[in-house]
Chains A and B, each alone.
Chain A
């Protein structure tokens, strides 16, 4: 079976998780939300294709730390880092990291969605089977 293009949203802020997943779902992707970097590392089921939107500033383990951990686990997934604001050292590390993009919060859908398309290909709607529920409606139940 074909797995759908999925976006992992990693942010410690509930409001950001909710609103960002709505946006991504509305754009036709599946979404999984994680409140911390550790939760992502604990994830065993990685769909394909997959892409991460990771907040840089999180308590405990930062987004950049998560990136390093994934690299060391040899998980090669496209990552988009986002940040509200951070200390200069972390931001410098984030910019140097091998990531798809670094987005400063708040960012526009017109900035994010082309990046997701680039990372996942235009597959979200192409894979939709006739009669299937719009992906967002299916996934909203997950909340």
Chain B
């Protein structure tokens, strides 16, 4: 039956196909309930009246109509028809009367359920004062009162019984049953549908309370339990138990207690016991009914009030818990540096998983506009193997298509898929999923990602859950948009540094050609000399050996040049390693050696005696330093040859920074040029791209260092690269 029941709060569900088996279940349960109700009702009739003093079938039909969607009401009404007709015919009521009475019974249920559906925001819930008051007014009072006019008319005209007596009996018995049966049945069905498992202590308390209510009702309404010395038992003694039920078990507890009390009172009356001895048995029972019906109103009112307060407190607690989640998730992204961003996402996903008791949660991102979604980060409940190897978007085309259009999609059962979503439904079953929520991550009017939450157990995603998840999705959307932007910047930076390396390779080509030509010249000359020796017949083997050794050495030199070029040009992914700044400087010294010769610049190196450990990407740092030194050599190019000096110094300063200073004897900076030289496309040379120092600054930034330019006190300019030293254990 539970599948037929529309979820409480009736949020927008994906329209499902008609469900034939759950409908059948609903029909059978309605028929069974109705049948049981009739049996009780018939047993509690006081001949010669047709009307029963307690008539549950109408209330059971009302509960069924509250639980199934309006378009399926006919199923419940149809199911009740045979169950209504057969026992009443057997009980000797005329067919015409049976038919008409069925109509009046149905009219009561239709009035109650229809009125509640019209007026109440959640007709199958009794947890706010407004809902309870509407229920009491519409289903508890209006429907029985109105339908009883018709019912009494039928009984009066067919059987000739006194109209107002019939009306009065039926009205009060139906008020009592509507109030006592409907909330109990509806809430029981809802609990079963949600698979709620009450704690053992609560079950015991409920049973104790039920026993006490029954015993007390038998005592105060029937007098079958005699207390010595107490001549008359005040009926008000039932009240504390009703309040206990209302306080501890809410509306459902109050309604079940009322039902028990009414049943017991009716049973006692049928045995001839009665509390109001002055009245005849029938009248006495009617008085009890009236008494309970009148009592029911304040008791249920209080139950509704308490439930609303309890709900408000629970809502507040849940909201506080959720606020905690939000601030934890949001805080992770604020707190973390960009390098730690992925772990912030992992933390956020895990918190979501714990908070909503998920089995699997994933953040998917699309590369480029409308591109395929790929899993960026994911989290699984430990031991969960769900969706391993799932190809996300490819397996759930319908779902992802919806999400890509910006629609949050909630799947609580297979019936939430439309008929056309065959692949999605099959994948859902194949991976053993029970519910899934997919939220689009939107930034700048573009869905750039999806937050996917999955459970392997049934659960209901309430309107509150959905609203909350939208907030979470917003935070993740912002963070992931920022993250994607960072990744793109990172890529651009790498492209730029690659480009800059290529362009500086162009500038170095002359120098490299020179470096390669020297060994090539040596090899060629040696080889030709060897041939001449051999031709002359004067070749000595020791001389030839010496020539070959030189050739091998030159070949090695040439190979080293090629290797360095390849290292410079090859696109490298940054993988920080521990480096010695002195070694970096030495490498750069060999790289620029012939360039310096050609430029007629004397470059001297003043390298610290101890190793200067730093962490970083070797090629990038070499590139940065090379650019700075090249820039310095250019700065002195207009000076007389004897004055073209560049000095590179390495040192560890007092603040734990490794400093590489490049000092040139050039003209220095004027007009604050030292502040502009790191900007892109600012170049001192006509053919330069002006990217050299920009790249240098970008590299140094990435290493957490600084690069500064200033005029040197001794004249010329000095550029200082400062990078944090790796802490070395000091003895």
A binds B: yes
Q: Are B517 and A84 in contact, CB atoms less than 8 angstroms apart?
A: yes
Q: Are B525 and A84 in contact, CB atoms less than 8 angstroms apart?
A: no
- B522 adjacent to chain A (CB < 8 Å): yes
Residue of B whose beta carbon sits closest to that of A22:
B529
Q: Are B532 and A85 in contact, CB atoms less than 8 angstroms apart?
A: no
Q: In the complex, what residues of A have CB within 8 A of residue B602's CB?
A: 59
Roughly how many angstroms separate A89 CA and B370 CA in the complex, as a whole number? 55
Q: In the complex, what residues of B have CB within 8 A of residue A23's CB?
A: 525-526, 528-529, 532
Q: Are B525 and A16 in contact, CB atoms less than 8 angstroms apart?
A: yes
- B598 adjacent to chain A (CB < 8 Å): yes
- B547 adjacent to chain A (CB < 8 Å): yes
Q: Are A62 and B600 in contact, CB atoms less than 8 angstroms apart?
A: yes
Per-residue CB contact flags for chain A residues 76-110 toward chain B (1 = under 8 Å, else 0) read 00000010111100100000000000000111110
- A57 adjacent to chain B (CB < 8 Å): yes
Known A12-B597, A16-B518, A18-B550; contact A136-B538, beta-carbon cutoff 8 A: yes
Residue of B whose beta carbon sits closest to that of A85:
B513
Mark out the residues of chain B between 537 and 563 whose CB falls within 8 Å of any chain A CB in the assembled complex: 538, 540, 543, 547, 550, 553-554, 557
Roughly how many angstroms separate A137 CA and B515 CA in the complex, as a whole number? 31
Q: Are B518 and A59 in contact, CB atoms less than 8 angstroms apart?
A: no
Q: In the complex, what residues of A have CB within 8 A of residue B564's CB?
A: none
Shortest distance in angstroms between A108's beta carbon and chain B's nearest beta carbon? 7
Q: Are B517 and A19 in contact, CB atoms less than 8 angstroms apart?
A: no
Roughly how many angstroms separate A94 CA and B694 CA in the complex, as a whole number? 36
Roughly how many angstroms separate A32 CA and B522 CA in the complex, as a whole number? 17
- B226 adjacent to chain A (CB < 8 Å): no
Roughly how many angstroms separate A131 CA and B116 CA in the complex, as a whole number? 134
Shortest distance in angstroms between A55's beta carbon and chain B's nearest beta carbon? 9
Roughly how many angstroms separate A27 CA and B519 CA in the complex, as a whole number? 21
- B536 adjacent to chain A (CB < 8 Å): yes
- A15 adjacent to chain B (CB < 8 Å): yes
Residue of B whose beta carbon sits closest to that of A133:
B538
Shortest distance in angstroms between B201's beta carbon and chain A's nearest beta carbon? 93
Residue of B whose beta carbon sits closest to that of A19:
B525
Shortest distance in angstroms between B528's beta carbon and chain A's nearest beta carbon? 4
Q: Are A84 and B536 in contact, CB atoms less than 8 angstroms apart?
A: no
Roughly how many angstroms separate A85 CA and B410 CA in the complex, as a whole number? 71
- A40 adjacent to chain B (CB < 8 Å): no
- A50 adjacent to chain B (CB < 8 Å): no
Question: Which of A20, A58, A87 is most buried by chain B, counting CB atoms within 10 A of its CB?
Answer: A20
Known A85-B510, A134-B538; contact A19-B532, beta-carbon cutoff 8 A: no
Q: Are A86 and B510 in contact, CB atoms less than 8 angstroms apart?
A: yes
Roughly how many angstroms separate A106 CA and B521 CA in the complex, as a whole number? 4
Shortest distance in angstroms between A128's beta carbon and chain B's nearest beta carbon? 12
Known A60-B600, A87-B598; contact A13-B529, beta-carbon cutoff 8 A: no
Shortest distance in angstroms between B518's beta carbon and chain A's nearest beta carbon? 5
Roughly how many angstroms separate A136 CA and B538 CA in the complex, as a whole number? 9
Q: Are A105 and B517 in contact, CB atoms less than 8 angstroms apart?
A: yes
Mark out the residues of chain B between 505 and 529 whose CB falls within 8 Å of any chain A CB in the assembled complex: 510-511, 513-526, 528-529
- B356 adjacent to chain A (CB < 8 Å): no
Known A19-B550, A22-B526, A59-B600; contact A106-B517, beta-carbon cutoff 8 A: yes
Known A84-B514, A106-B517, A109-B528; contact A19-B523, beta-carbon cutoff 8 A: yes
Per-residue CB contact flags for chain B residues 74-96 toward chain A (1 = under 8 Å, else 0) read 00000000000000000000000
Shortest distance in angstroms between A7's beta carbon and chain B's nearest beta carbon? 13
Known A26-B529, A85-B513; contact A13-B522, beta-carbon cutoff 8 A: yes
Q: Are B514 and A106 in contact, CB atoms less than 8 angstroms apart?
A: no
Mark out the residues of chain B between 479 and 522 whose CB falls within 8 Å of any chain A CB in the assembled complex: 510-511, 513-522
Report the tally of A-B residue pairs with Cβ distances under 8 A: 107
Q: Are A22 and B547 in contact, CB atoms less than 8 angstroms apart?
A: yes
- B431 adjacent to chain A (CB < 8 Å): no
Residue of A whose beta carbon sits closest to that of B513:
A85
Per-residue CB contact flags for chain B residues 44-76 toward chain A (1 = under 8 Å, else 0) read 000000000000000000000000000000000
Q: Are A19 and B526 in contact, CB atoms less than 8 angstroms apart?
A: yes
- Which residue of A20, A60, A86, A87 is within 8 Å of B525 (Cβ)? A20
Per-residue CB contact flags for chain A residues 39-72 toward chain B (1 = under 8 Å, else 0) read 0000000000000000001111010000000000
Roughly how many angstroms separate A18 CA and B602 CA in the complex, as a whole number? 25
Residue of B whose beta carbon sits closest to that of A110:
B528
Roughly how many angstroms separate A58 CA and B536 CA in the complex, as a whole number? 34
Q: Are B514 and A85 in contact, CB atoms less than 8 angstroms apart?
A: yes
Q: Are A15 and B554 in contact, CB atoms less than 8 angstroms apart?
A: yes
Q: Are B522 and A15 in contact, CB atoms less than 8 angstroms apart?
A: yes
- B533 adjacent to chain A (CB < 8 Å): yes
Shortest distance in angstroms between B551's beta carbon and chain A's nearest beta carbon? 8
Known A15-B522, A15-B553, A85-B510; contact A109-B532, beta-carbon cutoff 8 A: yes
Q: In the complex, what residues of B have CB within 8 A of residue A20's CB?
A: 521, 525
Q: In the complex, what residues of A have CB within 8 A of residue B520's CB?
A: 105-106
Mark out the residues of chain B between 582 and 599 whose CB falls within 8 Å of any chain A CB in the assembled complex: 594, 596-599
Roughly how many angstroms separate A34 CA and B519 CA in the complex, as a whole number? 18
Q: Are A57 and B514 in contact, CB atoms less than 8 angstroms apart?
A: yes
- A33 adjacent to chain B (CB < 8 Å): no
Q: In the complex, what residues of A have CB within 8 A of residue B547's CB?
A: 19, 22
Q: In the complex, what residues of B have CB within 8 A of residue A136's CB?
A: 533, 538
Q: In the complex, what residues of A have CB within 8 A of residue B514's CB?
A: 57, 84-86
Q: Are A13 and B518 in contact, CB atoms less than 8 angstroms apart?
A: yes
Q: In the complex, what residues of B have CB within 8 A of residue A13's CB?
A: 518, 521-522
- A25 adjacent to chain B (CB < 8 Å): yes
Shortest distance in angstroms between B537's beta carbon and chain A's nearest beta carbon? 10
Q: Are A105 and B529 in contact, CB atoms less than 8 angstroms apart?
A: no
Shortest distance in angstroms between A40's beta carbon and chain B's nearest beta carbon? 17
Q: In the complex, what residues of A have CB within 8 A of residue B532's CB?
A: 23, 26-27, 109
Roughly how many angstroms separate A80 CA and B531 CA in the complex, as a whole number? 23
Roughly how many angstroms separate A106 CA and B514 CA in the complex, as a whole number? 10
Roughly how many angstroms separate A57 CA and B641 CA in the complex, as a whole number? 14
Q: In the complex, what residues of B have CB within 8 A of residue A107's CB?
A: 521, 524
Q: In the complex, what residues of B have CB within 8 A of residue A25's CB?
A: 529
Q: Are B522 and A16 in contact, CB atoms less than 8 angstroms apart?
A: yes
Residue of B whose beta carbon sits closest to that of A104:
B517
- Which residue of B538, B557, B600 is within 8 Å of A15 (Cβ)? B557
Mark out the residues of chain A between 96 and 141 whose CB falls within 8 Å of any chain B CB in the assembled complex: 105-109, 134, 136-137, 140
Q: Are B538 and A19 in contact, CB atoms less than 8 angstroms apart?
A: no
Question: 5 interchain pairs (CB within 8 A)?
Answer: A26-B536, A58-B597, A84-B521, A85-B514, A106-B517
Given A16-B522, A108-B524, 16 further pairs, Cβ under 8 A: A13-B522, A15-B550, A15-B553, A57-B514, A57-B594, A57-B598, A58-B597, A59-B602, A84-B513, A84-B517, A85-B511, A85-B514, A86-B510, A87-B598, A107-B524, A137-B540
Shortest 10 CB-CB distances between A and B: which pairs? A84-B517, A26-B532, A19-B525, A15-B522, A22-B529, A109-B528, A85-B513, A23-B529, A106-B521, A19-B526
